[in-house]
Amino acid sequence: MQMPQSLSVGLTALTLGWKRILQQEGIEFRQCDFCKKISPSDFAVVIANSRLNEKQAQNAIEFMQKGGAILAAYDFFSQIDDSIKFKEKKIRFIEPKGVFFNGAGLLWLNQSAAIFEGQKQPLPLLKKIGNGFMIALPFDPESATMNEAFERKGFFAGKAVIAEFAPAASKTNSRIIASNCIKRLFELRGFPFLHLWYYPKQFKSVFSFHVDVDDFSKEVLPAIKLFKELGFQPTWFLNMQAAEKAESSEIISELKRQPFIGQHAFEHIFFADSGESYGNVMKGHLEMEKLGFNPNCFSAPNGVWSQGIARAVQALGYDFAVAFSLDSDNLPFNPIVEGKEAGFLFLPTHPICIGLLKMYDFNEREMIDYFNMIIERNASAALPLLLYGHPFEKIGSKPDVIKSIFSAVRARKDIWVATHQQFLQWWEKRQVVSFKAILEGNKVKIICNTVPDASIRVVFDGRQSFLTLKNQEAGVTEFEKGKPVFSGTIKDTMPKPSFFGKKHLAKKAGAWVIKNIFRKKI
């Protein structure tokens, strides 16, 4: 009689980075201990993310030889297979190439990586070991996921490559590549790959919008009116130093009527010093309370994250934070605060807004085309679409662009239009879901706790289908009738950004002349 096959993924160490990747993906996992012999029926795939002693390494080899599959970074396999040759070097980024990059773009690393023998660039290496399989990753997803460094990068925008802060290592693409490798190993073993879907009701993506109020000008009022007309309630993040110079008391009064209010620090500046950064957030909260606001979320000034901000958001008991230097266009996660997972969620925001596009001389039609491109790209790759903007000379002066964005996402039936708070509530429910999948003959048995509107995505033989999240049995042959999975890479970032637009530079130069020459003469 054939042994039941667990469809779980094993981790040799429950490290923060790999746990985050698997939790974002909704993959069932548990720890795998190679101190003892492991049967291939115990795990569909094992991720070897820790150093193994001689006995553990031998058990890992036997696991693969008997039909098991292991995924690990390149340095792991150097312990167990001296036929795997590679050159190690510091790599800035890896160009997307091949099936392991499906749904991914440029993989920024800024870390050591391996170029395997016979390859021209760092790419995953697939090898058969006895009756089993291994994939050696040319980089360490743990290191990439936990890296909080940031730098300016170029974001593809058609007409130009827009410069903005971004993670030094691509967390989104690291997650996607790791997931693709796991799926491939399931496929090689002839197993369906199951994971908890990212969004409710099988939506392809989620759309939301927030407003950073950096300037309390009267343009805040038409922005509030615009979102009211659109029937959407964005989160308004208030910079409190700017609030001291509000052009009208009506602005404060109208903002108080908005249901979702967060803070945008006191000074709109990035502090390299962790203590100053912490103090800036705490002061912002205090000043908001003085004005009668009760914020429960935070938007990082200039989109730049730091451990000082993380400590303050944790100390204040906020529900979530948004930024893009830590991560962008990715699924939510609990960030790290002093070496541990925080109690709040981080929502990675798309970094390009109307204000940035104006700096590259985009007209309204070109702005609309850009956002239409991003909507299509993120929905195709199942990525969230969390946009933002500013009232002053942006949202207020470009209402047609905002209207076009909302019209485009609402015209699609596969994008969930939600407030940040609705998305937060969904993700928190998703985080407590647990399910167990066992392959018995040609049937998959699922045991789980249920959450309304949640579903399990099944990938099998290049096709995907969905199952309602409930205790059930499903025939493997049913999965062959699914729809083809997304294939191909995406355009996200580029090695070099473009220069600012000529009109923007001319305007800046004119303003400098007026300020520094004519006014001084007067």
DSSP state of 333: B
| Confidence (pLDDT) at 345 | 98
Res. 400 pLDDT band, cuts 50 70 90: very high
Q: Are strands 150-156 and 161-167 parallel, antiparallel or unpaired?
A: antiparallel
Fold of 201-426: TIM Barrel (3.20.20)
Confidence (pLDDT) at 117: 93
pLDDT tens digits for 230-249? 999 999 999 999 988 887 88
The helix or strand, by DSSP H or E, that contains position 212, with its residue range, turns out to be: strand 205-213
User: Cα angle vertex 479, ends 20, 333, to 5°?
Assistant: 15
Residues 409-430 pLDDT 10s: 999 999 999 999 999 999 999 9
Tens of pLDDT, residues 58-88: 999 999 999 999 999 998 887 788 888 999 9
Q: How confident is the model at residue 514 (pLDDT cuts 50, 70, 90)?
A: very low
**What pLDDT is recorded for position 78?**
79
Asked whether residue 403 carries a pLDDT value surpassing 50, the answer given is yes
Does 509 score more than 80 pLDDT? no
Which of 192-196, 328-332, 487-491 is the least confident region? 487-491
CATH hierarchy code of domain 1-196+432-522: 3.40.50
SS3 156: strand
Domain boundaries in the chain? Answer: 1-196+432-522, 201-426
pLDDT > 50? residue 318: yes
Query: What average pLDDT is seen over the chain?
Result: 93
Report which of 266, 242, 267, 272 is spatially closest to residue 255, judged by C-alpha positions: 242
Mean pLDDT of 352-371: 96
How high is the pLDDT of residue 513?
43
Could you report the per-residue pLDDT of 138-168, keeping only the tens digit for each?
Answer: 999 999 999 999 999 999 999 999 999 999 9
Neighbouring C-beta atoms of residue 258, cutoff 10 Å: 17
Q: How far apart are CA 78 and CA 400, in angstroms?
A: 57
Q: Is the pLDDT of residue 517 over 60?
A: no
Task: Tell me the mean pLDDT in the region 179-196.
Answer: 98
Q: How far is CA 269 from CA 263, 265, 348, 443, 495, in A?
A: 13, 8, 19, 57, 26
Say whether pLDDT at 378 is over 80.
Answer: yes
